[in-house]
Amino acid sequence: MPVLQQKEPPQEKPLPALRANLNFYPSARTSTGAPTWVIYDPIRHSYFNIGRLEFEMLSRWATAQSMEVLIAQINQKTSLYLSTETLEALIKFLSINQLLKPQGSEAIKQLIKLEAQSHKSIAAWLLHHYLFFRIPLVSPDRFLNRTLPLVRFFFTPTFAMILGICAIFGIYMISRQISVFFSTFSYFFSIEGLLIFAGALMFAKVIHELGHAYTAKRYGLRISTMGVAFLVMWPVLYTDTSDAWKLTSHRQRMWIDAAGVIVELELAIFATVLWNFLPDGPFRSAMFMLAVTTWAMTLLVNMNIFMRFDGYYLLSDYLGVNNLQDRSFALGRWWLREKIFCFGDPLPERFSPRQQRFMIFYAYGTWLYRLILFLGIALIVYFLFFKILGIFLMMVEIIWFIIRPIYREFSYWLTRRSDMHLNRNTLFSLILLLLGIALIVIPWKNTFKAPAIYRTQVHQSIYAPKAARILEIKINSGQIVATGETLFVLEDPDIQYHLKAAQQREKLLKLQLSLQPTARIYLEQSHVLQQQLLEIQAEIQGYKAQEEQLHIKAPFSGEIVSVADSLRKGRWINSDLILARLVNKQNTQIIAYVNEKYLYNISLGTKGRFYPDAPDELSKDVKIITIDSANIVQLQASDYYVASIYEGQMPVRESVNNHLVPQEASYRVYLSTSQQTEIPQRVYPGTVVLEVNEKKSLIQVAWTLINTVLIRESGF
């Protein structure tokens, strides 16, 4: 009989050995109450958060020795289920993070490869780290241990009570001199003031970091390093509190996260109290800055939940979700793919419905924030460095942080082409896509806006030529006056005094000239006396001309639409006071200030509508009657209504000689209206909406704008 050969049992796969120096600590529970642990790598001072299944596997790792035995132990001795794929995924995770003991030639090659990758050239390192990198400066743990007893009082209810009393007292004292308080900042504008400002700012930030450090030390944690981090080349202090992963209480973690902001708020309270007792000067200004500026900026920056600052970790610990951004991003990508393609993929993680909605919302909020932030940083690095390097860094910023994530998502979609089927979600997505394309491709835009003013074509504000006293008021509001009609009669006692003195001098000179035949001395001085007489007569004419100017007359025929309040005989007035407003009500005028990029879209006869800013004025249909042939070099007084420094819509800058110059080339465009409306009593600023000769799509408008910027910035 043939002998039956027995099948050899399949060879068991050995488990790779874990590094002997790894430590395991229990950590805080998840939002669902599940226990978690952390793996601590003391060589790299790194923590890795794991769940119960991973902990059960690693706790049996040394005794199981093979994959099959470990899977059997987990499935038989616990309520958990372990598959081969899950175990292989854990082994891959341990290998990537260098948590396995290197064995064999392959492991050595892998370590050599990782070591080679870690040594980058200076250029490559700067390219990847110029936005953010850290420089550890001190290892403060021994100092913190020695000084912790000195600061324990600040963690007591007694100190909290003292703080509350100081806050109430400081606010009460400042409320009695609030205007003085907010004018303190002026003392910084000196070398001494700037040095004190910098010292106070540095002190506040050091106190902020010590707040994190001492709070962590109070819970028995180790602070390995403190140093300075550079965020887009801007230095900020940091404290390594990564040992907080060992804490099992989310509440304790939140106290560590919030400690920096809390300490700065406490510092602000004491600075508020001290401000009331310090004399005016730079030190009082420093207290003002600590009381107002530093903690406000800290709240704006450190409490930002979209960046990995204190606010982010506070939110993460409050929700009980470690690695909040990575896990919410996974949920956000899953939600997007399901809404577009309906792949039917399982959830990356299961959360409560409310928490799941929040995390998806948080993911999209973070992506939108990062888009705006990275575009802003791209512009900053462009203008911060010389042009060639600025362009290069800006392109790196846009490609690496904006285009690359979008490209990776589209690449993933392409790998799932076989799973894409026409369904309700896909059909709805296609309709939205087509509508979006139509929105930017079809030429919808057929109007544009421009700042404008509405006024009478001929109008004038009446001023006094110089400081003078009112002698007579000859007009009233609503009165019709003719050209040259006297409106106000003013007097200046100095002019009258000098005029009378000059007239007396004239009489004396004439008397001396009349005595020439009888007095030899006057005959000899005849030529000098004649010259002096001519000079004094010219002086008299000058004084009379000044007196005539004080008789203020109407420059043209029109109506007095307003007269200044409280004008009376005998009152002194200066040359800045508008005494009255005179308008010619025969014609009105609307002037629009059109940017040069819209100039080719309009022509004579182009129609539009004027919308005044005043709520009591109605909008008006208008038509272009004149377009200036040259752009505005500097604004006239009547143009100031649209200047940005006077809350207008036209961006302007002030030149060296105090003239207002438009930031962009703009042209005056004159419009008329056929509507019979009430004549304006003053100048009304507003906006005119004009139709364009040729409709343009949004993509054409964007291309024109981009092309303009590229041409403008192409010069080196």
- Residue 414: phi and psi, rounded to 5, are -65, -35
**DSSP code at position 486:** E
pLDDT of residue 358: 94
**Between the CA of residue 448 and those of 309, 439, 648, 700, what are the distances in Å?**
42, 17, 17, 14
Annotate 251-289 with three-state secondary structure: HHHHHHHHHHHHHHHHHHHHHHHHHCCCCCCHHHHHHHH
CATH of residue 627's domain is 2.40.30
More confident call, 41 vs 581: 41
Average pLDDT, the chain: 83
Tell whether 406 and 516 lie within a shared domain.
Answer: no
643 Ramachandran zone, left/alpha/beta (phi>0; psi -120 to 50): beta
Tell whether 492 and 518 lie within a shared domain.
Answer: yes
More confident call, 645 vs 255: 255
Helix and strand element counts for the chain (H, E): 23, 20
Q: Give the mean pLDDT of 20-35.
A: 85
pLDDT of residue 292: 79
Tell whether 153 and 290 lie within a shared domain.
Answer: yes
pLDDT of residue 370: 87
User: Is 70 exceeded by the pLDDT of residue 275?
Assistant: yes
Does residue 498 lie within any of the structural domains? yes
Tell whether 558 and 609 lie within a shared domain.
Answer: no
pLDDT of residue 150: 92
Tell whether 310 and 337 lie within a shared domain.
Answer: no
More confident call, 34 vs 212: 212
Tell whether 315 and 331 lie within a shared domain.
Answer: no
Element (H, E) at 661: strand 660-662
pLDDT of residue 1: 44
**DSSP code at position 599:** G
Tell whether 147 and 56 lie within a shared domain.
Answer: no
Tell whether 101 and 235 lie within a shared domain.
Answer: no
Handedness of CA 687, 693, 698, 703 (dihedral sign): negative
- Residues with Cβ within 8 Å of 692's Cβ and at least 6 positions away in sequence, in order, are 445, 446, 447, 448, 598, 601, 602
Does residue 578 lie within any of the structural domains? no
- Residue 302: phi and psi, rounded to 5, are -70, -30
The domain in which residue 69 lies consists of 23-119
User: Is 80 exceeded by the pLDDT of residue 147?
Assistant: yes
User: Is 80 exceeded by the pLDDT of residue 456?
Assistant: no
Report the number of distinct structural domains present in the chain.
5
Which pairing describes strands 652-654 and 578-595: parallel, antiparallel, or unpaired? unpaired
Which range among 38-42, 152-156, 288-292 shows the weakest confidence by mean pLDDT?
288-292
| Distant-in-sequence contacts of 346-354, Cβ < 8 A, 24+ apart | 351/31, 351/32, 351/321, 352/31, 352/32
Tell me how far apart the alpha carbons of residues 648 and 663 are, in angstroms, rounded to a whole number.
13
pLDDT of residue 364: 94
pLDDT of residue 163: 92
pLDDT of residue 650: 87
Tell me how far apart the alpha carbons of residues 171 and 275 are, in angstroms, rounded to a whole number.
11
Residues of the chain with pLDDT > 90: what percent? 16
User: Is 80 exceeded by the pLDDT of residue 681?
Assistant: no
Q: Give the mean pLDDT of 181-206.
A: 74
User: Is 80 exceeded by the pLDDT of residue 615?
Assistant: no
Tell whether 190 and 292 lie within a shared domain.
Answer: yes
Does residue 234 lie within any of the structural domains? yes
- Residues with Cβ within 8 Å of 311's Cβ and at least 6 positions away in sequence, in order, are 302, 303, 304, 305
Q: Tokens for 70, please give them.
A: 């470990």
Does residue 408 lie within any of the structural domains? yes
- Please report which confidence band the pLDDT of residue 128 belongs to, taking 50, 70 and 90 as the band edges: low
User: Is 60 exceeded by the pLDDT of residue 123?
Assistant: no
Tell me how far apart the alpha carbons of residues 276 and 269 are, in angstroms, rounded to a whole number.
12
The residue assigned the tokens 């799509």 is 697
Q: Give the mean pLDDT of 165-170.
A: 91
CB 670, CB 625: distance < 8 Å: yes
Distance of CA 75 to the CA centre of its chain: 56
Q: Which of 406, 441, 476 is the C-terminal boundary of a domain? A: 441
CB 687, CB 448: distance < 8 Å: no
Tell whether 286 and 399 lie within a shared domain.
Answer: no
Tell whether 316 and 463 lie within a shared domain.
Answer: no
Does residue 579 lie within any of the structural domains? no
The answer to whether the predicted template modeling score (pTM) of the entire model surpasses 0.75 is: no
Which residue, 617, 620, 615, 562, is CA-closest to 590? Answer: 620
Does residue 553 lie within any of the structural domains? yes
User: Is 90 exceeded by the pLDDT of residue 158?
Assistant: yes
User: Is 80 exceeded by the pLDDT of residue 328?
Assistant: yes
pLDDT of residue 255: 94
Which range among 330-334, 390-394, 510-514, 706-710 shows the weakest confidence by mean pLDDT?
706-710
Per-residue pLDDT reduced to its tens digit, 547-595? 888 888 888 787 787 888 888 888 888 888 888 888 776 667 788 999 8
Q: Which of 89, 119, 149 is the C-terminal boundary of a domain? A: 119
Does residue 69 lie within any of the structural domains? yes
> Which of helix, strand or coil describes residue 177?
coil
User: Is 60 exceeded by the pLDDT of residue 10?
Assistant: no
> Which of helix, strand or coil describes residue 353?
helix
Tell whether 479 and 370 lie within a shared domain.
Answer: no
> Which of helix, strand or coil describes residue 671?
strand
Q: Which of 441, 474, 499 is the C-terminal boundary of a domain? A: 441
User: Is 70 exceeded by the pLDDT of residue 492?
Assistant: yes
Does residue 158 lie within any of the structural domains? yes
Burial of 282 (0-12, 13-18, 19+ CB in 10 A): buried
The most confident of the ranges 143-147, 464-468, 528-532, 575-579 is: 143-147
